[in-house]
């Protein structure tokens, strides 16, 4: 049987994300693949396609694993897994600090401009050590996310009654219940993934991809079926017994990275029990005012469901700084202290508290002096952020006065308001899916109109680009009956839904046309791949306008029409497309996956999805040239727009609008203002000569380093 031994050099070993990548890579092959941890005494061999099995191996950095395979594609499976492990699970460059070269690679290439430091500074007063005051003993935990918060406590407690355990006559019926509840859990996890991508970031959202890997593990279904069949107990008992057993296996590992994965399994257990016992969704009493949220160990799904406006900080009895909740808190910009101990759960709701996410201290019933000091520090930190945002409120021009619009990608009315606070000059992408998901029926015209009008009112005369519904693929909705697809990324999604649900798009266009005059409204269509599709869409837009006028409705005088450049086909046809549309917006996330033939929702091939790939950059450059020649504008609304390494490059390629997550806007504006168009164009020319994504990145990093970055 072919086999190979590899040393795992990834910092955290085979924890959740690398384990998920390992499992998904193994699952691509038909051969039977096994893996063993050679550095654990009496270590067992497990199925490499089992998330539960691979995680339970407890592989830490520096340990050796033995991978064996048997079958027709065994050699290919071993090669793929070896490449994955030896590349540190295809960690992106954001996880690695590039070496700083002594000099630029080319003397004729201008240095990449760097963000300027704020012109004013604020001294942050130090918090006195509360331990020095004997009448105010602090609770001590581990600082998991920096910042300081002052406010009343609120303990998050479940309302679900303990499950009842009883014997059953039909174990097969219990297994069918499991399959049904598993499907509901999958839908929830996919929705949570998309929501957290928008509110905290892609890395934070990977939590829920790992949860899906646990849920989809065939071992889980086998174990539950075995328990129900042999023990003759109901599904609730099986869920608890099986997931607690796997949790106990992980808990025995001394490495805190793997002990932290216990929270993932417990989160999954609680999700399944909640769906079984609380179908109406009344599991938790949620805070209704700003507070410090206390919990035993706040599960990622629980953290994600909280209203951020009502959370000042997180404080948990258990958990560690590597837990997923710590990652989420940092992504949300909220202080967090973990591992405080059970005493925190005895604190009555409404107790005044100070949470210091840097020192890991929690002070209950603080004195007026400490409260004043904490508030002064919090105010100081707030002022520093405000200074950065104040600079961001100015229009964005390059050093030689080339106008570049820096706008926001948003997915809700609340996010529009946040984008303006961060200095957005408009909305370059309103994801309208927030109106359509997590509900039993589609929103009607009036509901959509009210939401679009509210967004437009906040923006006043700033542009609002509304992307029409982009569901399907990894964003399904319950009321739209679409067939199961083997490759949904290439299937019925975006404007292709016209073929099965034309009324959805027609209703949405009616609402968009009816937005009050005086606003700069544009409509943008996703997943376009042919000129015929553009003609059909233009005709539909005109038909809806005529229909509304005949009904006596007041509508806008005109509506700019744009398309997203997400497929190589439309990038190559940009010149022809621009005769039919007013603007283009390049969705680099999808353009990258379709150019490189690598599904971006498949962790096993995620290492291929790099928007710095020369092929992707050349498609962007070609699209920008076509727009320039046509006298029309082109933007980028994918993740590349928010990458500090890419922003000057994109300007140099001819992009005139960058749309990104709101939190990234202030830094982006500083970077662009320090660049000149001539410098940016020279950098772009040199970048396009590179032949690999890493060479492009290295080149851009050299420009940053040579400028003193």
Residue 675's SS3 state is coil
Catalytic residue chosen out of the listed positions 12, 324, 519, 613: 324
Q: In whole angstroms, how large is the CA radius of gyration of the chain?
A: 27
Which string of DSSP letters, residue by residue, matches 126-163?
PPP-GGGSTTSPPEE-EEEE--EEEEEEEE--B-PPPP
Catalytic residue chosen out of the listed positions 155, 228, 455, 637: 637
3-state secondary structure 480-532: CCCCCCCCHHHCCCHHHHHHCCHHHHHHHHHHHHCCCCCCEEEEEECCCCCHH
Please choose, from the candidates 619, 587, 586, 590, the residue with its C-alpha nearest in 3D space to the C-alpha of residue 488. Answer: 590
3-state secondary structure 363-376: EECCCHHHHHHHHH
Residue 202's SS3 state is helix
**In this structure, are residues 37 and 65 in contact, taking their beta carbons and an 8 Å threshold?**
yes
DSSP H/E element including 218: helix 218-231
Pairing state between β 64-70 and 3-7:
antiparallel
Pairing state between β 3-7 and 32-37:
unpaired
Please choose, from the candidates 324, 359, 51, the residue with its C-alpha nearest in 3D space to the C-alpha of residue 201. Answer: 324
Pairing state between β 361-364 and 560-565:
unpaired
Pairing state between β 148-155 and 427-431:
unpaired
> Is residue 43 exposed (0-12), middle (13-18) or buried (19+ Cβ within 10 Å)?
middle
CA 206/CA 193 separation, integer angstroms = 7
**In this structure, are residues 406 and 412 in contact, taking their beta carbons and an 8 Å threshold?**
no
| Residue 166 annotated in active site | no
Residue 208's SS3 state is helix
Residue 559's SS3 state is coil
| Residue 324 annotated in active site | yes
DSSP H/E element including 178: helix 171-199
Angle of helix 218-231 versus helix 202-216 axis, rounded to 10: 40
CA 421/CA 541 separation, integer angstroms = 33
> 154-182: b or e for each residue (b if 16 or more CB lie within 10 Å)?
bbbebeeeeeeeeebeebeebbebbeebb
Go through the chain and tell me how many residues it has: 709
Catalytic residues, by residue number, are: 324, 637
């Amino acid at each position: 049987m072919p086999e190979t031994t590899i040393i795992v050099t990834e910092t955290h070993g085979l924890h959740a994300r690398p384990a998920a990548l390992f499992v998904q890579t193994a699952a691509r092959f038909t051969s039977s693949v096994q893996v063993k941890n050679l550095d654990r005494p009496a270590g067992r061999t497990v199925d490499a396609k089992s998330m539960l099995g691979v995680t339970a191996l407890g592989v830490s950095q520096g340990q050796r694993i033995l991978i064996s395979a048997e079958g027709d594609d065994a050699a290919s499976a071993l090669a793929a897994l070896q490449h994955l492990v030896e590349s540190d699970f295809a960690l992106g460059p954001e996880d690695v600090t590039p070496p700083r070269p002594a000099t630029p690679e080319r003397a004729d290439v201008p240095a990449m401009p760097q963000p300027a430091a704020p012109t004013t500074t604020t001294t942050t007063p130090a918090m006195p050590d509360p331990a020095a005051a004997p009448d105010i003993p602090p609770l001590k935990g581990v600082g998991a996310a920096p910042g300081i918060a002052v406010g009343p406590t609120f303990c998050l407690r479940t309302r679900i009654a303990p499950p009842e355990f009883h014997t059953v006559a039909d174990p097969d019926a219990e297994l069918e219940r499991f399959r049904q509840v598993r499907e509901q859990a999958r839908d929830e996890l996919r929705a949570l993934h998309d929501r957290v991508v928008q509110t905290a970031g892609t890395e934070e959202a990977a939590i829920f991809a790992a949860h899906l890997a646990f849920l989809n593990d065939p071992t889980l279904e086998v174990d539950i079926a075995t328990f129900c069949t042999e023990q003759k107990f109901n599904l609730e008992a099986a869920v608890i017994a099986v997931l607690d057993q796997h949790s106990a296996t992980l808990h025995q590992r001394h490495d805190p990275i793997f002990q932290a994965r216990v929270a993932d399994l417990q989160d999954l257990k609680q999700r399944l029990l909640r769906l079984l016992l609380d179908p109406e969704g009344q599991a938790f009493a949620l805070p209704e005012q700003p507070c410090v949220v206390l919990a035993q160990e706040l599960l990622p799904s629980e953290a994600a469901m909280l209203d951020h406006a009502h959370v000042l900080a997180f404080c948990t009895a258990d958990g560690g700084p590597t837990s997923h909740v710590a990652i989420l808190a940092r992504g949300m910009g909220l202080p967090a202290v973990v591992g405080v101990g059970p005493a925190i759960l005895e604190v009555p709701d409404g107790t005044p508290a100070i949470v210091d996410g840097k020192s890991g201290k929690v002070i209950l019933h603080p004195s007026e002096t400490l409260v004043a000091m904490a508030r002064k520090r919090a105010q100081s930190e707030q002022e520093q952020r405000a200074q950065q945002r104040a600079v961001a409120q100015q229009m964005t021009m390059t050093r030689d006065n080339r106008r570049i619009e820096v706008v926001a990608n948003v997915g809700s009315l609340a996010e529009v308001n946040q984008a303006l606070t961060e200095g957005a000059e408009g909305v370059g992408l309103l994801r309208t899916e927030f109106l359509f998901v997590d509900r039993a029926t589609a929103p009607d015209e009036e509901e959509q109109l009210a939401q679009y009008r509210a967004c437009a009112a906040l923006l006043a005369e700033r542009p609002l680009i509304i992307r029409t519904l982009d569901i399907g693929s990894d964003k399904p909705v319950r009321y739209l009956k679409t067939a199961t697809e083997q490759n949904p990324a290439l299937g019925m999604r975006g404007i292709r839904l016209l073929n099965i649900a034309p009324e959805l798009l027609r209703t949405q266009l009616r609402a968009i046309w009816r937005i009050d005059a005086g606003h700069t409204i544009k409509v943008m269509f996703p997943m376009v791949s042919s000129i015929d599709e553009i003609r059909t869409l233009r005709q539909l837009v005109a038909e809806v306008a005529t229909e509304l006028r005949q009904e006596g409705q007041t509508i806008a005088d005109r509506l700019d029409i744009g398309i997203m450049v997400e497929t190589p086909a439309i990038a190559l046809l940009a010149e022809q497309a621009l005769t039919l549309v007013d603007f283009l917006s390049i969705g680099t996330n999808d353009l990258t996956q379709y150019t490189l033939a690598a599904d971006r929702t498949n962790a096993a091939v995620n290492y291929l999805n790099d928007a710095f790939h020369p092929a992707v950059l050349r498609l962007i450059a070609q699209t920008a040239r076509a727009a320039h020649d046509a006298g029309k504008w082109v933007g980028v609304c994918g993740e590349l727009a928010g990458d500090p390494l890419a922003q000057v490059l994109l300007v140099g390629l001819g992009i005139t609008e960058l749309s990104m997550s709101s939190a990234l806007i202030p830094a982006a504006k500083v970077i662009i203002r320090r660049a000149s168009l001539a410098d940016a164009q020279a950098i772009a020319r040199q970048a396009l000569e590179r032949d690999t994504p890493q060479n492009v990145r290295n080149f851009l990093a050299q420009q940053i380093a040579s400028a003193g970055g």
